[in-house]
Structure 1
C-alpha cells in the first residue's frame, strides 16, 4: 500500500472517525500479527495452537490502531509489535498453559544462577550449575529443555513486582503515556534497564550473541542456528540459559528495592 495513502487512512480515522479507514489499517498491518505469533510459537509446546496466538495478536493489533497517536514521531510498526506481543503473552498467561512444576523448576534455576554467579563474580558454567544443584549435566540439560517454554516472555515485558501483582506494568505502557509517568517510575525503569544492560554484558559470548540476534535483529532461533552453525535445539538452550541468568539479575534488583 502506498505510504501516502496509509497516512491518509490515519488522518481519516483519527481526525474524522472514519471506521472504514480503521478497518483498512487493521488489514494493512495484519502481517505484523503473523510475524510476532510465528516468532513466539517457536518456543512453545505443541499444546498451544498458532491460531490461538493469532487470535490474541489481532486483539493487540486492534488495540494498537485505536491507541496510536499518528501525529507523534513514532513508527507504528514498532509500537504495534510491542502491543501485539503483549496481547499474545497476556493470552498465554490467561490460559495458564505452563505446568506449575515447570514454573517451579524455572524459578529454582533463576535462583541458582543468581546465587552462584554472585558468589563467583562471573557467569557460571553448566558444570558449576549442575554441581550446585546436586545433579549431573544430563539432568541439567533435561531441565533446561523443560523450562525453555517459560522464557518466551521477554525481560522487557514487565518490570518490578511479582507474578500476579496488579501494580505490575509493561515498560511500553509507561513509556507510551508521558502524562502517567512519575519520577519514581522513571527512576525505577532507568535502574532496571541499567542492571539489565550490565547483566547482558556479563553473559557468555554465545548467549550474548543469541540475545542480540533474537531481540535486536529479530531473527528466529532457527535463523540464529544457521548463522552460528548450531542446531536449533542448541540455540534454544543458549537462549534459555541467558534468560534465566538475566531474570536472576533482575530478581536481585527487586529484592534490593523492596
Structure 2
C-alpha cells in the first residue's frame, strides 16, 4: 500500500477500493426511486474515494478502509442532497396512500385490503401497486433532517423507513400498530428490520418477488404511519 518513500500507493488503493464504491452504490440504490441512476452514485462515490486518498492522515487513528468508506458514502449522500431525488408526484402519492389507508381502516375497523385502498384512491390494483413501488424509495430517512451518524445507520440496512417511526416517545404506540398489521406484513418487517435479510432473501421466505417485497413493505409502512397519525 505504500511506496519506498512511505507514501500511499494511490493506484493500488484505487484498484482495491473501487469495488467498495460499487457495493455501497448498489446498497443505496435499492432504497431510492428508479430515477436515481446507479452510475451517478458510483461516480460520486469514486470522487469520494479520490478525496479520501488525498486527505487521509495516518495520525487520525482510523484505518484507511474505514476512512474511505465514510468518504465514499458521504460523497453519495452529498450527491443526493444536490438534487430533488424524490419527485413531487411520488411524495404526493405517498401522502395520498397514507390518507386513504387511514380513512379505509377507520371506516372498516380492520386492516384494509389492497383493492379497498386502491378503490379509495381511485386507482386500479395495478396502479396501486405502482404507487407502492414508487413510494418505497421515498421512505428513506429524510436526508436533510438527520446527521451523518443517522445517515450511516440508515444506509447500513437494506430498507429502513421503519427506523424513522421509532423513538422513545412513540415506541409503545408503534408496537401496538405493528401487532395490528396483517400477519404477512408483520413477518416482512421482522425479517427486514430484526433478521436483517435482504430483498431476495425476504422474497424467498414469503414466496414472492423482490418487487413485491418492496410493495408490501411500502404498504406496511403506510399502515404504521396512518396509525401513528391518529
Task: Give how far 1:97 is off.
Answer: 2.5
Q: Tell me how far apart the structure 1 counterparts of residues 37 and 184 of structure 2 sit (CA, whole Å).
A: 31
Q: TM-score, normalised by structure 2?
A: 0.62
* Shift of residue 105, structure 1, vs aligned partner: 0.9
Aligned residue among 106, 111, 128 for 1:118: 106
Q: Deviations over 1:152-196 (max 9, x none)?
A: x0xxx46xxxx97xxx446966xxxxxxxxxxxxxx931223333
Return structure 1 stretches of 4+ with deviation > 4 angstroms.
Answer: 28-36, 54-63, 83-91, 168-173
Q: Map Cα deviations across residues 203-226 of structure 1 (whole Å, 9 max, x no partner).
A: 212222222222222222122112
Instruction: Give the direction of change, closer, same or farther, for the CA distance of 1:40–1:143 in structure 2 (3 Å limit).
Output: same
1:202 counterpart = 2:180 = yes
Name the residue aligned to 1:240.
218
2:198 maps to what in 1? 220
Aligned CA RMSD, in angstroms, stands at 4.6
More contact order relative to length (CA 8 Å, sep ≥ 6): 2
Contact 2:93 2:131 in 1 (8 A): yes
Aligned to 1:101: 89
Secondary structure of the structure 1 residue equivalent to 2:110: coil
Task: State yes or no: 1:211 paired with 2:192.
Answer: no
Structure 2 regions of 5+ residues with no counterpart? 1-7, 9-15, 151-165
Matches within 5 A, 1:1-258: 37-53=25-41, 91-151=79-139, 153=140, 157=141, 168-169=145-146, 189-250=167-228, 252=229
Q: Which runs of 5+ in 1 are unaligned?
A: 1-19, 21-27, 71-75, 174-187, 254-258
